[in-house]
Structure 1
Amino acid sequence: MSRFRSLLQASLNATKRALAGNLEDLVPPSEKYVFRFNSKEELKRWHLYSDSEYGGLSSASLEITDSPNGSSATGVFSGNLSLDVNDGARLKISRGGFCGMRSKKFDGYIDLDSYDTLALKLKGDGRCYISTIYTENWVNSPGQQEDNSWQAFVHVPKDNWYIAKIPLARYLPTWRGNVIDAELEMNPSRVVGISLSVNAEGGVPGARSGPGDFCVEIDWIKALRMQN
């Protein structure tokens, strides 16, 4: 009889462990790292772009900081914004003034369907930056093969670490940097890329703007579930 009770108890314990594991799968953690800027290997997952591709004179770099006293390293996105353009450029724009860093194509997708907020830990220069989420294009028409893009402003206070929490519902659909008036719904389960960019002009009131140097330090990007 005692052997039967032992077998029964072992079976119940195994069932509880299995159920607990299934519940963890069904209810993801309340936060999820998307990127951590703590190594040079991490920076290889990103590429830079700027108006220099179209005849502008802006420039950007993405580097890793030293980590003194045992502190973790962070990424530094910096450069110079210029409104000038190169007269001899093959692809001509009328005015420059933008730089960005974008994650390279994932091997598959990032599924953020269980989360409602994107958070970025930043230390900046008082400028307004643009956070962009790229999702798989739901309509693969011949005229639009690009990913869908969704953008939100991020005003980064100067000199102090700041965690910007942006609800996914606040991201607006855009086409080549311009907000479009269309009934579109983001598909957070099919995220194909993320970027952070800066423009010399525009942004939110009170933010630093205009041509010149820019610099923002990045610790991590996370997905959060703020609503239960």
Structure 2
Amino acid sequence: MNRSGFCGMWSKKFNGYIDLDTYDTISLKVKGDGRSYISTGIYTENWVNSPGQEEDNLWQAFVFVPKDNWYIAKIPVSHRYLPTWRGNVIDAEMEMNAARVVGMSLSVNAEGGVPGARSGLGDFKLEIDWIKALRTE
């Protein structure tokens, strides 16, 4: 099998846009199993207009979720979210168009991620209490 090793959920494409431009942090209250997760992937309107790329731009960041306790993760948007395509970080100078968010996602990461996180095949469990955008600066 190609491109296996993860499980994720995605929102439907939003009716319109969510404007996160005035926020600097995405925060999640989660309880998990000691695995690393790919935090709320942020899909933004494709404003790069690369030839042949019809998909929205996807920005991802890892978040470690400690086992069996509620945890509030805070992910700085400009420092931790990286542009990706098909699971790989894009090595290009890009800036997130945070004013044009069209969807979000959350995935479990089977391999890699945050050092010390549980990895490999097997069951996983993640509970989400809330997801918020914050202004911390």
Aligned twin of 1:149: 58
| Secondary structure, aligned partner of 1:126 | coil
Hey, what's the Cα distance between the residues in 1 that align with 2:86 and 2:117?
A: 23
AA matched with 2:55: E
Alpha-carbon separation, structure 2, partners of 1:101 and 1:95 = 16
Q: Distance in 2 between matches of 1:126 and 1:199?
A: 11
Aligned equivalent of 1:201, options 111, 115, 118: 111
- Structure 1 partner of 2:28: 120
Quote the RMSD (CA, aligned, Å): 1.1
Q: Indicate the SS of the match to 2:124.
A: strand
Instruction: Write out per-residue CA displacement over residues 106-159 of structure 1, whole angstroms, 9 at most, x where no aligned residue.
Output: 110000111000001000000000011110100334410111111100000000
Aligned 1:57-206 pairs, distance under 5 A? 93-94=1-2, 96-131=4-39, 132-169=41-78, 170-206=80-116
**Structure 2: how far apart are the matches of 1:225 and 1:95?**
36
Runs of 4+ in 1 over 6 A off after TM superposition: none
Q: Contact 2:35/2:109 (CA < 8 Å) preserved in 1?
A: no
Q: 1:216 aligns with which of 123, 126, 130?
A: 126
1:226 matched to 2:133? The reply is: no
Decide which structure has the larger Cα Rg and report it. 1
Cα distance in 2 for residues equivalent to 1:160 and 1:166 = 18
Q: Normalized against structure 1, the TM-score is what?
A: 0.58
Q: Write 1 or 2 for the structure with the bigger share of helix.
A: 1
Structure 1 runs not aligned, ≥5 long: 1-92
Q: Aligned residue pairs: how many?
A: 135
Structure with higher RCO (Cα < 8 A, 6+ apart): 2
The aligned residue for residue 62 of structure 1 is none
Hey, which of these two has a bigger chunk of strand by percent? Answer: 2
